[in-house]
Structure 1
Amino acid sequence: MHFRTVILMSCTALALAACKTDLTKVTDDQLVTLLSEKSGFSDRPARITKRTIECVEILSGINQAVYKDAPAELTGAMKTDCRKRFQGWLDDPVRNSTELQLADFEREDLAERIVALAEEQQAAQNAQRQAEQAEKQAQREAEAAAKIEEARVELAETTAAWESLKAGLLERRDVLVPACAHLTGLREQLKETDRRNSLFNKGLPSVCSSNPLSPEIRVMEGFDKRLAAFDLDKAGGLYGARVPQVPALDMDKIDQRILAVMSATAEYEAALAGN
């Protein structure tokens, strides 16, 4: 009994030496579990926070230069708050699986180890954040490339359809321009021989009243410019540019106008032949 009392007294006298907690038996994972916490509303994993680092610094004195000008009352209050914080964690069996005591947080070697762990955590989280950002950027670029390729295919299809439609329009214009000119000439001839002919009770077909198909030609020229100005690269943006839609040009209606001109031409030719 006397021997055991001597041992206890020795440990009390050498509390900061022989009876310190053996930190080599405390793993990094145990320290991380004990000291990590979620930060605000962040969805990041729990980590050793800046507040915890400040606590180990002020309790151990490892960063004394930072706190040397702080009033004693302030540092005292901070130390008290930090001790309460750490004691609460030490008393939590879910957090704490170590043999650490509150006094251990005043040790420089433990404080430096905790700071190093926090720096490792921060570096790992920075690397993870960069990797996530790189992945998101790669995903955005892939999506943009897919949109551009989709637009490229659509543009090719639109251009082919438009060229076919435009060719049909120009072909009909090439028919109507001389046909209207010929009809106008027949009308002038008939005026010279038979001014009272009933054909003068009605005008020429409307398509011949001005440049044949001029409204449609303006639409054609405008759409040509839109196609030429379309930027495929802009199709890959968040609000990607859309390939212009082929304008509606009613070829059947234009064909009916051609037939009307041909019919009127036949009437004027018949009238002239009868004079």
Structure 2
Amino acid sequence: MKRLVSTIAITLFWGLSLSSCTESAPEMSDDQILLLFSSTSLFSTSADAPKTIPKKAEECVRLLSGLEEAVFKDMPQEMLGQLKTECRQTISERLRDPALNPKNLKLEHVETAEFARRLTTVRAKSQEEAKAFAARENERREAELAKQEQDQQRRRIQEAAEAIKNAQTQLASIKDDLPKRLTEAATACAEFDQAKEDLRKRDRRSPVLNRAWRPNVCQKNYAERASRQLHQIEQAVEKMASDKNSLFLPSMPFLGEADPNKITAEIEKMQETIRDMKNA
């Protein structure tokens, strides 16, 4: 009877000792497992992207748990041992970080088939969430790009309309101003010719005569050339409206002989020469 009691006592003692030495694994939620083993998502660069568990982390846990023995059965033991050591070192570093492991999970808890299967499930779920987030992000970016393109198209149409309006306004001004400038030019040309003839009579050797060249605006067919140029400008401005969907913004065509500023500049230069000839 004493021996039986002694045996029971010893059995209870060892049972209590073993249970006190083997600490049970803490309860871990999916989010806590994800936090412990996660890294930045490969599916999106957004800071809001859900985290995922790298494939290498899953492979390490499954290797240490024994679930992948069939996969590594032909690997030399020395190489397999080195691989397991590297896995344990990497996992242990994360386990020591209280920010990643607030539940104080131990390496011995990780090296179980139950935890490995759980990790595989959590990883698969995180992958799906990351892919869904990336798809939403892609849709959002495409929508933003489409809006930017629409805004750019509207701006381009508005700028084209303004350019066409400016060209039409400038054309109307040229059509109104050109006849006056040509009349002024004709008057100045006649005065130029008379001043040059008078100087030649007074002093044939005057150096002023050497630079008193009849300007372009005084050429016989200048008014005709200006008229043709104006007609070409009108055609170009009319074409602007029909080409409003062009990729290029419309611009005022070359004014050439019909440019009032050019005619004014020649008249002013001619009047300066006239003054020089009269004062010579």
Output the TM-score relative to the length of structure 1: 0.61
Residue number among 100, 106, 109 corresponding to 2:111 in the alignment: 106
Q: Is 1:36 aligned with 2:41?
A: no
Corresponding residue for 2:252? 246
Tell me how far 1:114 sits from its aligned partner: 0.8
Q: Is 1:148 aligned with 2:153?
A: yes
Paired with 2:262 and 2:220, the residues of 1 have a C-alpha distance of 9
Aligned AA (1:33): L
Aligned AA (1:86): I
Paired with 1:99 and 1:162, the residues of 2 have a C-alpha distance of 77
Tell me how far 1:104 sits from its aligned partner: 2.5
Corresponding residue for 1:8? 16
Show structure 1 runs of 5+ residues with no match: 184-197, 235-240, 257-275
Q: Is 1:206 aligned with 2:219?
A: yes
Paired with 1:4 and 1:30, the residues of 2 have a C-alpha distance of 36
- The alignment yields a C-alpha RMSD, in angstroms, of 4.4
Corresponding residue for 1:267? none
Corresponding residue for 1:122? 127
Q: How does 1:1-275 map to 2 (within 5 A)?
A: 2=10, 5-8=13-16, 11=19, 21-22=24-25, 25-38=27-40, 47-98=52-103, 100-167=105-172, 205-206=218-219, 208-209=221-222, 211-213=224-226, 214-222=228-236, 228-229=242-243, 231=245, 234=247, 241=248, 243-247=249-253, 249=255, 252=260
Aligned AA (2:24): T
Deviations 1:25-56 (A, max 9, x none): 2212221222224589x766654222211101
Per the alignment, do residues 208 and 111 of structure 1 end up closer, same or farther by CA in structure 2, a change over 3 Å counting?
A: same
Output the TM-score relative to the length of structure 2: 0.60
Identical aligned residues as a percent: 22
Per the alignment, do residues 222 and 69 of structure 1 end up closer, same or farther by CA in structure 2, a change over 3 Å counting?
A: farther
Per the alignment, do residues 207 and 82 of structure 1 end up closer, same or farther by CA in structure 2, a change over 3 Å counting?
A: farther
Paired with 1:253 and 1:102, the residues of 2 have a C-alpha distance of 88
Aligned AA (1:160): K
Corresponding residue for 2:210? none
Per the alignment, do residues 211 and 21 of structure 1 end up closer, same or farther by CA in structure 2, a change over 3 Å counting?
A: farther
